Structure 1
Amino acid sequence: MKIRFTSIQDHKTKGVEPKIISFEADAEYDYFIDDEDLNKFEYHTYHFKEPSVGESNRIEINEKRVNIFTGMSTLTMLKGIKAANSFVNVDGSQFFLKPLLHNVVIEDKIKKFKYELFGPNDELIGEFNVSLEEI
Structure 2
Amino acid sequence: MKKIYDMLKLENIKILPGVKDWREAIHVAVKPLVDGGYCEERYSDEIIKNTEKLGPYYVLCENVALIHGSTEQGVLKRQIAITLLKKPVKFKTDGYDVRILITLAATDAESHMEVLQAMSELFESQESTKKVLDASNEKEIYDLFVKAV
Bigger radius of gyration:
1
The TM-score, its normalising length taken from structure 2, stands at 0.29
Richer in strand (by share): 1
Richer in helix (by share): 2
